[in-house]
Amino acid sequence: MQYRQLGSTELSVSEISFGTWAIGGSWGKVDDNESLRALSRAMEAGVNFFDTADVYGSGHSEELLAKATKGKEDTIHIATKFCRVGDIHDPSIYSEASVRAYCEQSLKRLQRERIDLYQIHCPPISILRDGSVFAVLDKLRDEGKIREYGVSVETVEEGLLCLQYPNVKALQVIYNIFRQKPEKELLPLAKEKGVGILVRLPLASGLLTGKFSEQSQFETDDHRSYNRNGESFNVGETFAGLPFEKGVALSRQLSWIAEGKGNMTRAALRWILDNPNITCVIPGFKNTAQVEDNLGVLSTTPFTESEQLRLQQFYEQEVHELIRGAY
């Protein structure tokens, strides 16, 4: 396992870390015992960083992480997020009283005295422009409730705005072969300012595994079913904003990336980690087999310059115009 510094912070995190949205809910059926085994396997392999949120399974992901990391609080770092339990457009959600309550509830579920990275969970850009929530987070940091704070964003514009606040130490972004926009301006500037980058949805909700067909079906409680066209939240969070059938067809055109890299999953993760402006990638998982598959990227060779150019041109010519929603 390789480790990378999270921006200008003192946190050193595994370049392959994991997100826990899937084991909390919204990705179909899960088994808690299998989830705990998968978390254990990841830690055995050297993973020392996990991302979660209070809204994942109404706190269930946080509770699972508490069980999995008990006794390892000093060596396993946890990032969690807040604001989407309530109405994200209501300014009172970001008041000191509200944020403090969210923080205390997460600390209780995580069974920790401090959150390593506390993130605002994809708030409206108006909240970021107002900026008063950052003063609240400064207080929590000064009190030792949180170690560092950051923002999970939906768009490049939101990310650039966050970089104007000096104590924002991490951005969580959607970035993958189907979503390359952040790499031109946002990622280099974040690096320059000492802000770490966490990459979520690196596999575009599974499209970049190459395992789907146009006939693939998802359970009704899986966001890949109920949010396919942005019915419940930002469409970019599901299949990178691509129409599903078109995304499947595009993934077939990318089958070549698996050559010499094991499979498309590992190749897609490798492409992200080849970017020196990335701190870590946080794929989701529902079982030990998926953890093992993702860990396979550690022995995968980097893409050549010509291959990277080919993928850049593919995105610009075939993908960019098809992505729905602001990004």
pLDDT digits (tens, 9 = 90+) for 155-186: 999 999 999 999 999 999 999 999 999 999 99
Residue 49: strand, helix, or coil: strand
- Choosing from 3, 56, 102, 226, the catalytic residue is 56
Q: How far is CA 260 from the centre of its chain?
A: 26
Say how far apart CA 224 and CA 241 lie, in whole Å: 11
Mean pLDDT of 78-94: 95
Tokens 């924002």, residue located:
168
Does the pLDDT value for residue 27 go beyond 70? no
**CA nearest neighbour of 113 among 150, 52, 66:** 66
pTM (2 d.p.): 0.94
56 is catalytic: yes
pLDDT recorded at residue 211:
94
Residue 316 is encoded by which pair of tokens?
């610009």
Q: Is it the case that residue 64 has pLDDT exceeding 80?
A: yes
Higher pLDDT, 25 or 112: 112
Kindly tell me if the per-residue pLDDT of 24 is higher than 90: no
- pLDDT > 90? residue 196: yes
Q: pLDDT tier at 326 (50, 70, 90 boundaries)?
A: confident
Q: CA 225, 227, 230, 231 torsion: positive or negative?
A: positive
Give phi and psi for 218, each to the nearest 5: -125, 150
pLDDT of residue 26: 62
> Would you say residue 73 has pLDDT above 70?
yes
The mean predicted confidence, pLDDT, of the chain is: 95
pLDDT of 110 higher than 90: yes
Confidence band of 29 (pLDDT split at 50, 70, 90): confident
Specify which residues 149 forms β-bridges with. 118, 168
Confidence of residue 305 (pLDDT cuts 50, 70, 90): very high
Task: Give the residue ranges of DSSP H helices in 45-155.
Answer: 60-68, 96-110, 125-130, 132-142
Mean pLDDT calculated for residue range 17-22? 94
- What number of residues does the chain have? 327
Across 33-49, average pLDDT: 96
Counting Cβ atoms within 10 Å, is residue 166 exposed (0-12), middle (13-18) or buried (19+)?
exposed
